[in-house]
Chains A and B, each alone.
Chain A
């Protein structure tokens, strides 16, 4: 088993921040932490080559760096790529993750290690196996044996790793088909009994962790406020022109309501596949209250209604997609000078 190891300028002993623009260098054999890792691997595998690359160089010239590393991979033909460990070094973690993605595209497995809050984990967890480390290099003496153990398991299992907890890597947020001995209901009851008995159990479906934001300060007045409308109820122009998915939405829509004073059966409908659509298809104002907001605009209760609304389907839609949609929609509303927004959910 031949390993190509990716490390940054610091662990490659080229220097610290002042050497962060160090371009890609290919060295034979292990360097820095690779030496200790190589010893731990014993007969299982050998680090035959090391790529050293400055963190800033990689991140500021990503396309060039990725192309260069792809060439090296073609040339070295490793059986496995190891990147890091990167701990909580953001640029290094992102570089390790990106190398993992490249490896995966080239059909080679990548094993890395980093702190769970390193952005490299969130960005690239699906295309590499990442061992959890602490947030600083002081954890090297634990991180390396854990990475070595995962590499050995990888070799023993013929390249097919098991579940994250079983083989010692962080969850990749992937669903994999598998056969279980017991049916779901029995497993759920087993878990419940364990929970009630205060024993340890492992959920098969971890709930997402939601962040919290401070309440934003109130508007001084509604009279000059521009109000935006956003919904997860799937209200779309009739015919759903952008084909927003009826569940697990991959996109949101931005639609004009300029000159529209009422949503009717002829103009709008819902794309949402998770609730009875009859009422909304008849009169989408029951989900997106354009009619009364136009009245309130005309009467001067509010300054104006923003002439675009934003919509997606909140039916099995992932938290990560929702966060992405939310951030983009919020930015568009801010750019349009919207002072406050009404969000409706079904």
Chain B
């Protein structure tokens, strides 16, 4: 009975905090809050602000590639450090690509999609009053904020921000004299990542404990919405993959500041000076980094797919195709994703036998991922489509997931990857999947849950305009980058026009730059819509989309403690749409079997 006692004490504890919350002042309620909904929204807003920074960095990158050596006097005046006479320095360009990648991957997608939506949705969707350990949750957010501030602060130290790429390969990241960004910028990068990992670990521990222990009565594992499943798998994968990177980061700090040689080989010459290090191997960093780096992409993409799978049934008015198979696919992808990191290292001198193994394992992953994608398409079959803004973005997710996934077939195969490695093909593929699927998934989620979060709806018209102005330029930019890669254009090259064989790609780069700047400008539509709807949007009722999951059974926005006096009791799976024998075309999870038949 121990666990029942525990559940009861938890109930009383939460009751106490709920009453306390009501009496708390503004600061404790909305700033240092332990309420998962406030924390989720804090994460989302922080992530969106970081996205603005990441976008501006991308704009600078595209200015350089679209118009190489052009003198941008005005921009130069704003950024005297990096482009004093209006022309970017190569060092600044390296810092730009590094920070764009780091900020977008860890501080935008991870914050908004995983931590933001995860915190907001998990307790609401499993029928809990809060996360298992609300205080740890609050700590997780504040560490995340400090981590973001440290990362932003690294722009302003001597030598500028880190410039070793988001992968921080040594020796560039380990030898302080390598490039200006290898100095303080790199140290702050490592410290910020350490804070980020600590914060992410706290968040994930909460996700896992909450989903295991605090599901409402009747919410069996196989009755959880796919969104919750995807957060669950993502949290587990994150918990398993991040610690080795922590270990590697500690070793990198030691190499930088205490003279060890974990990642530095003997006889290394940097800036005409022989370094005293001996015996280490930069390949060790690559292994430890990619042991995190590859699972990390699943941590980011699975929630986007889960959210898409949950939005589809609402706007097709039918259950998703193959719910159980989708769950098994998520689990399979999570497990396989842990053992394929070597496909990022095919050109590192890896033994062909290892290469063969990593190729095969990577190809194996395409099976559950393809099933997942095809099931999403099959979910549209026979549905009564309502093409709202969230639905448009969800369809965009499917489109990008399908076309981006094809690129993965080439990169996961050692033979093809030898040609394509470190070219724009990789950039294009990566942005389709971890840029596009997650970005569109984020927008789908924002438009879909905005009424729940803020009690008002976003404008549909502006939402649709935003979708088309996002999707078309996005597809143009990264589809074309695949072809740049096939023509041999390497990534991270500052002045590609100095190579004769790349000079003919100038026109393509110009088009990409124009499309990219259009894409960025289009986000102003979203920002305007977001801000306007916060104040003036149409008031939203509890269930504006006529959806079935638990969060739609409470007010918009939900009160502290989420569910009033009694926790909900769940009687059915989350996808009872167009049920025969029911008056409505949707049956929420809390409707008892006496009122409508239960299908799963």
Please determine whether chains A and B interact with each other in the same assembly: no
Which residues from chain A sit less than 8 Å from chain B, CB to CB? Answer: none
Which residues from chain B sit less than 8 Å from chain A, CB to CB? Answer: none
